[in-house]
Copies of this chain bind each other. A is one copy, B any other.
Amino acid sequence: MTDIQRSGCAINLALEVVGDKWSLLIIRDIIFGNRRHYRELLTKSDEGISSNILADRLKTLVEAGVLTREDDPTHKQKGIYSLTEQGIELLPVLAQMAAWGVKYLPVSEELGIRAQLLRDGGPKMWAEFMDELRETHLGIRRRRKSGPSVGERLRKAYEAIVAKHAATKRKA
């Protein structure tokens, strides 16, 4: 965002980092969509961010310490964006916001299922998901839990709804 500081209030400072129209959506795609490259973030999101805005936000988020960028060893031009611990800890913010959205706004069934699961799972589920993100993004090993990960559970629930809708459509 801007460099000037409006006030030392916690909420204001947080908004100066992620309080624009796109930053939290980018972080959402990294967290829930497992996007790690510029091109993935540009093309595989539902909202369609402009390339210049995406480039600018990624730079800003790296400067703010929410993301890191490193070169992809498998491809000289690719960069890999990873969440920092600071970025991972935005998950509760996103979860609360999603819970609010799902309660009061016309969220589509496909896209709302993850918000609902995350709300029902509560802070315990968030913590587990954050541990998974620490493993993926920071390389911090975690104790293996039995059963599927939170990430997998969210993904499968989403896919199940999409399949259900596709089936309904076929019948009609």
* B46 adjacent to A12 (CB under 8 Å): yes
A140 at the interface (CB under 8 A from B): no
Docked CA distance A17–B6 (Å):
22
List the number of copies, as a whole number: 2
Q: Which of B11, B48, B102, B123 is close to A10, meaning CB atoms less than 8 Å apart?
A: B102
CB atoms of A15 and B8 under 8 A apart: no
Interface size class of A (residues with CB under 8 A): 35 or more
Mostly helix, strand, loop or mixed at chain A's interface?
Answer: helix
Contacts of A11 in B (CB 8 A): 24-25, 28, 94, 97-98, 101, 115
Chain B residue with Cβ nearest A114:
B10
Q: A92-B96, A93-B100, A111-B8 are in contact. Are A105 and B47 (CB under 8 A)?
A: no
Contact B98 A47 (CB under 8 A): no
Provide 9 A-B residue pairs closer than 8 Å at the C-beta atoms, listed in order of the A residue: A6-B47, A8-B112, A9-B46, A10-B102, A10-B112, A11-B98, A12-B25, A92-B96, A92-B100
Q: A6-B47, A19-B20, A92-B99 are in contact. List 19 more A-B contacts (CB 8 A).
A: A7-B46, A8-B46, A8-B108, A8-B111, A9-B46, A9-B111, A10-B107, A11-B94, A11-B98, A12-B25, A12-B46, A12-B101, A14-B101, A15-B24, A15-B25, A17-B105, A19-B21, A65-B104, A89-B100
